Structure 1
Amino acid sequence: MHTVTNTRIGGPRGAVVVWAVSRAALLLFVFQVVRFPGQVVVHDVADIYRGWYPVLRHGAFPAHDVTWQYPPGAALVLVAPGALPFLGYAAAFFVLALLADAVVLAALLRDARRSGRLAGVWVWVAGVALLGPIVYARYDVMVTAVAVLALLVFRRRPALAGALAGFGAMLKVWPLLMLIGAPDRRRMRRSWTAAAGTIAVLTALFAALTRNSMSFLTFQRDRGTEVESLGALVFHVARHAGWHGKAEMHYGSTEFLGRHVHLVSAAALGLSVIGMCWLAWWRLRARRFTAATPYDAAFTALLVFTTTSRVISPQYMVWLVGAGAVCAAARGSVMRLPVHLTLAATLVTTLEFPLFFDHVTKSDVWGLLMLGSRNGLLVAASVLACRRLWAATVPDPDALGTAPAGLGRLSVLTRR
């Protein structure tokens, strides 16, 4: 059992104090007691989520609303504010977001008592503060809480981790990536079986008890290139070379519309597929697993998935902050620099949205600088994470003095 130094500044009490002060500031912003500079960030909760609430509460999904692009489990989060009717919908949502934030903090503090490392706690405290009020104005922090819990219990209780990841996937798909780094056949089988069972049961329940639960698939498929994504940089630059497309609201986010956008969207999907293929190849080649490898693999997979996506909404950064915090908490993690780059990208994300989003949509020099910096940091973090994960887990055939003839064997999955 390790002990955590309880100094006033750097110990757990100091982390809790900083968390409380920073989160009080976030609440002042989302309740609009103090106005946060730039674009209004509470629109989704006050208008969109609130508008969906009566439809979802009566057992249906917004089948004809193109902004509904979430798996059916999202309905559980979006109707949850109804449990606090005395607060009003938006206020109740913000309180539940704060509670999800506190759950992550408590889980990381509990893990820190066991490991003796507070780095993960500080990554979470700082990362959410850097991202600003949008963390409480979207439901991604709730999904992140589920994913962080899944990661933290993965080594000891793989079936529970799988069930949590499966539940998280019904909220927003990506928590399934938390299971990619299972170090042996037993934990892989138990976690993925539990995840698949959870998804199957919940899908069947939603299909039986609600209407149009799978309508989100159509709207998600038809999304294009959002102005903050990596691929969007092509059009931001092309505007200065005479490209006459436009940036406007489309399928719930500000996207580029015009010639060749579909090609860039297809290229982004292709990059995501390549990234997933690389992760599968890594999984087959990996031989050396440490206690931190499942966390490092999950963080790497999430970085690849996020960076190559057609849409990189600001709130997505809270996913990376959560997974990065778990890596930072683990002894032996090789993700220290990628996590720090992600924190830097989180700060720049707040600059480009909501502070200076008008510059981004206009593709002016300041907007290009901010967006290029944020996406450049994500690309750098992704490449570094992939290289470090590979170097830490895949033996060099020359160093082993053997030919790589047996690299395709799946014996890695039986290693305990």
Structure 2
Amino acid sequence: MTPQGIAPLPAAHQLSLTPGERTRHPRHALALAAAWTATRVGMLVLLLVDRIGDSGVAGEVHTLYRGWYDQLVQGAFPAGDVTWQYPPGAAVVFLSPAALPWFTYFQAFVAVILLADAVVTIALARAGIQGAWLWVCGVPLLLNVPLARYDIPVTAIAVLALLSLRGRPHLGGVLAGIGAMIKVWPLLTVLGTPPGRTTRAVWSSALTSAAVLLGVLLIGFSDPLDFLRHQGARGVQIESLGGTALHLAGKLGWSGEVAYQYGAFEFTGPYVSSVARLSLALSLAALSWLVIWRIRARRWNPATPYDAAFAAVLLFTVTSRVISPQYLVWLLGLAAVCLTSRHTTQRLVALLMVPAAALSALAFPMLYGEVIDGTVIGCVLMVLRNGLLLLAALLACRRLWLSTVP
């Protein structure tokens, strides 16, 4: 058997080994732990200093998240708040700092994020070390942003759901349902489950856990579904694919402007509503393609659920009206899961998430003023980042289709 430190173990061998045997080389485990510690300390310093660009990354936790927390502990969702655009399960994450009462809200929130980050690292290391290295080295490319957003805990649930599907399908389904109530997209982790008993077990568990969590929140809180009113009113954010098209149109004489609304910088002006509708239409087209793929797929391997989830989230990311930099946290997590299996067809696509994350950090927070103003530098950054994500989505779908559809 090839030593783990030299080359990745075949997935079939990984399944037959205990978790400790998969990462039994002490030097390898120590190197991963050292890399995680060093990079996370660096991210934490950047967050505490918070002087990258003119963004004020930490302010979102200090003001917005803390304000939501103060309302949630009173048993009420932020009704009427246009910045609250999350499924009701998100309340669990924003309330989680209460478990660390000896810290300030900001300190406790960051501690929760780091704990979730460590859980993802350990889970990936037990499944396949290449994926763990991608996660450990890829997330810091986003600088301090991941520590001041709630996307790492969501990604942790999605990663655990995917890694549980093979041995514990019911648990994978439960986690997917919980994740869907927090951020919706983790439900896509059940998309590629093998047909038959496994799919029935996973999908029923996901629906059950989502329904139970929603029921608890409906009983315990007021206005848990108020977020639906604000989602439909959102426009085209400047970092989206549609926003990139509008930025380029501005260079050709389009008269639209950038305004801060619904908690983000969005475009206003002629044709913006048409671009928003086109984005929604493309998302529906992506959903239709995924349904057709699921119906046509006949060949499954151990990595198919990972590849399908990764391709699906890529599709919905590039067709979104938003594409915030923290979306790369999701994609890095799913890419890392793909790399835990030698059967994956998404190895190249997974590696494309590294430059995509670096470009995202350049756009926000480092040069966000350039992106807002639509300067040449800002436009080039958005064209490169979004073009890379679009290429990755198309390539992921093509590889998924060729590997599963006769």
Interval containing the TM-score (normalised by the shorter chain): over 0.9
1:259 equivalent in structure 2: 270
Question: Offset of 1:64 from its aligned partner?
Answer: 1.0
Question: For the residues of structure 1 that align with 2:59 and 2:272, how far apart are their CA atoms?
Answer: 27
The reply on whether 1:188 has 2:188 as its aligned counterpart is: no
The reply on whether 1:218 has 2:229 as its aligned counterpart is: yes
Secondary structure of the 1:222 match is: coil
The reply on whether 1:296 has 2:307 as its aligned counterpart is: yes
Identify unmatched segments of 5+ residues in structure 2.
1-16
1:31/1:91 contact within 8 Å kept: no
> 1:210-236, CA deviations, whole angstroms, 9 ceiling, x for partnerless residues?
100000011111111000000111210
The reply on whether 1:362 has 2:362 as its aligned counterpart is: no
2:258/2:372 contact within 8 Å kept: yes
Question: Of residues 152, 167, 171 in structure 1, which corresponds to 2:163?
Answer: 152
| Alignment TM-score, normalising by the size of structure 1 | 0.91
1:307 equivalent in structure 2: 318
Question: Of residues 118, 124, 138 in structure 2, which corresponds to 1:102?
Answer: 118
Secondary structure of the 1:54 match is: helix
1:30/1:94 contact within 8 Å kept: no
Question: For the residues of structure 2 that align with 1:197 and 1:217, how far apart are their CA atoms?
Answer: 21
The reply on whether 1:90 has 2:109 as its aligned counterpart is: no
The reply on whether 1:381 has 2:392 as its aligned counterpart is: yes
2:154/2:182 contact within 8 Å kept: yes
Question: Offset of 1:377 from its aligned partner?
Answer: 0.5
Aligned partner letter, 2:246? F
Question: For the residues of structure 2 that align with 1:376 and 1:241, how far apart are their CA atoms?
Answer: 20
Q: 1:259 to 1:37 in 2, by over 3 A?
A: closer
1:38/1:353 contact within 8 Å kept: no
2:35 equivalent in structure 1: 18
> 1:7-35, CA deviations, whole angstroms, 9 ceiling, x for partnerless residues?
74xx2321111111000111112222x74
Q: 1:36 to 1:233 in 2, by over 3 A?
A: closer
Question: For the residues of structure 2 that align with 1:241 and 1:328, how far apart are their CA atoms?
Answer: 42
Question: For the residues of structure 2 that align with 1:82 and 1:4, how far apart are their CA atoms?
Answer: 34
Identify unmatched segments of 5+ residues in structure 1.
113-117, 396-416
The reply on whether 1:346 has 2:357 as its aligned counterpart is: yes
> 1:50-79, CA deviations, whole angstroms, 9 ceiling, x for partnerless residues?
111111001101111100011111111111
Question: For the residues of structure 2 that align with 1:90 and 1:307, how far apart are their CA atoms?
Answer: 31
2:53/2:368 contact within 8 Å kept: no
Secondary structure of the 2:298 match is: coil
The reply on whether 1:45 has 2:61 as its aligned counterpart is: yes
Question: For the residues of structure 1 that align with 2:22 and 2:145, how far apart are their CA atoms?
Answer: 34
2:47 equivalent in structure 1: 30
> 1:79-121, CA deviations, whole angstroms, 9 ceiling, x for partnerless residues?
1112222210111101110001000011111213xxxxx1101
1:230 equivalent in structure 2: 241
Question: For the residues of structure 1 that align with 2:336 and 2:286, how far apart are their CA atoms?
Answer: 22
Question: Offset of 1:341 from its aligned partner?
Answer: 1.1
Q: 1:374 to 1:7 in 2, by over 3 A?
A: farther
Question: Offset of 1:162 from its aligned partner?
Answer: 0.8
Question: Of residues 56, 63, 68 in structure 1, which corresponds to 2:72?
Answer: 56
2:97/2:112 contact within 8 Å kept: yes
Aligned partner letter, 2:65? Y
2:22/2:127 contact within 8 Å kept: no
Q: Write the mapping of 1:57-206 to structure 2, written as runs, cut at 5 A.
A: 57-112=73-128, 118-206=129-217
2:333 equivalent in structure 1: 322
Structure 1 moving runs of 4+ over 6 Å:
none
Question: Offset of 1:344 from its aligned partner?
Answer: 1.1
C-alpha RMSD of the superposition: 1.3
> 1:286-331, CA deviations, whole angstroms, 9 ceiling, x for partnerless residues?
1111111110011000100111101101111100000000001111
> 1:187-222, CA deviations, whole angstroms, 9 ceiling, x for partnerless residues?
111111111111111112211221000000111111
In percent, how many aligned pairs have the same letter?
A: 47
2:25 equivalent in structure 1: 6
Question: For the residues of structure 2 that align with 1:208 and 1:96, how far apart are their CA atoms?
Answer: 26
Secondary structure of the 2:143 match is: helix
Q: Number of matched residues?
A: 387
1:228/1:312 contact within 8 Å kept: yes
> 1:231-266, CA deviations, whole angstroms, 9 ceiling, x for partnerless residues?
111210111122221112111111111111110000
Question: For the residues of structure 2 that align with 1:320 and 1:16, how far apart are their CA atoms?
Answer: 22
Question: Offset of 1:3 from its aligned partner?
Answer: 4.2
2:284 equivalent in structure 1: 273
1:248/1:255 contact within 8 Å kept: yes
1:246 equivalent in structure 2: 257
